């Protein structure tokens, strides 16, 4: 259904056609259902939320296990304040340290400790199993590439929001 005139002369919304509605409904189901299905095994096995695991995982993949907090927030799909709270808990557990970026003191760099690295290494097989069971076992390589292209189009860096 296209835009319609309302009683006051303004234009109403352009309603979704059946294909658009199916695509949107599918995306919403992924957004709402996948996180809990991926988080449950992590909680059970390692006591980690999905966001916490993603934070540790991205740090473990960074050169020298060090990364700017702003980049880590982007990669883990969270706000800087949410990430700061999580990293503060990680610091208390001895998993992460934070320090000013030696190249630019305006930034803070988070560094994964050996203890933090051990946590993510132990949790990784649990997460990979869940990713396969929940997602990869249900799509073929072509589907995966299409989804990756769509995700890249929709991904927004925090700087893009300003």
Over residues 129-162, the pLDDT tens digits come to 999 999 999 999 999 899 888 888 887 654 443 3
Confirm if 138 and 52 have CB atoms less than 8 A apart. Answer: no
pTM given for the model: 0.82
Q: Which helix (H) or strand (E) holds 96?
A: strand 96-100
What is the tens place of the pLDDT at every residue in 45-96? 999 999 999 999 999 999 999 999 999 998 888 888 999 999 999 999 999 9
- In whole angstroms, give the CA distance from residue 51 to residue 33: 15
Let me know if residue 76 belongs to a domain. Answer: yes
Total domains in the fold of the chain: 1
Give me the pLDDT at residue 162, please: 38
Let me know if residue 26 belongs to a domain. Answer: no
- In whole angstroms, give the CA distance from residue 52 to residue 113: 15
CA angle 67, 58, 51 (to 5 degrees): 115
Let me know if residue 150 belongs to a domain. Answer: yes
Residue found by looking up tokens 């599918």 in the block: 26
pLDDT mean over 19-24 = 94
Let me know if residue 113 belongs to a domain. Answer: yes
Let me know if residue 121 belongs to a domain. Answer: yes
User: Of 105 and 122, which is predicted with more confidence?
Assistant: 122
Q: Which helix (H) or strand (E) holds 91?
A: helix 80-93
pLDDT mean over 7-17 = 79
Domain extent, residue 106, equals: 48-155
- In whole angstroms, give the CA distance from residue 162 to residue 3: 29
CATH assignment at residue 65: 1.10.10.10
Give me the pLDDT at residue 9, please: 62
- In whole angstroms, give the CA distance from residue 85 to residue 14: 40
Strand ordering across the sheet containing 108-112: 66-68, 108-112, 96-100
Let me know if residue 73 belongs to a domain. Answer: yes
């Amino acid at each position: 259904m296209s835009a319609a005139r309302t009683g006051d002369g303004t234009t109403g919304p352009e309603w979704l056609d059946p294909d658009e509605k199916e695509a949107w409904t599918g995306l919403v189901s992924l957004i709402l259902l996948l996180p809990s299905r991926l988080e449950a095994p992590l909680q059970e096995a390692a006591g980690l939320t999905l966001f916490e695991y993603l934070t540790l995982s991205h740090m473990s993949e960074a050169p020298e296990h060090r990364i700017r907090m702003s980049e880590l927030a982007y990669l883990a799909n969270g706000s800087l304040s949410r990430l700061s709270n999580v990293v503060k808990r990680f610091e208390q557990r001895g998993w992460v340290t934070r320090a000013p970026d030696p190249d630019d003191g305006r930034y803070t760099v988070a560094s994964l400790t050996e203890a933090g690295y051990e946590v993510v290494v132990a949790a990784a097989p649990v997460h990979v199993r869940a990713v396969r069971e929940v997602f990869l076992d249900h799509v073929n390589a072509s589907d995966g590439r299409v989804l990756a292209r769509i995700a890249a189009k929709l991904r927004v860096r925090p700087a893009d929001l300003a």
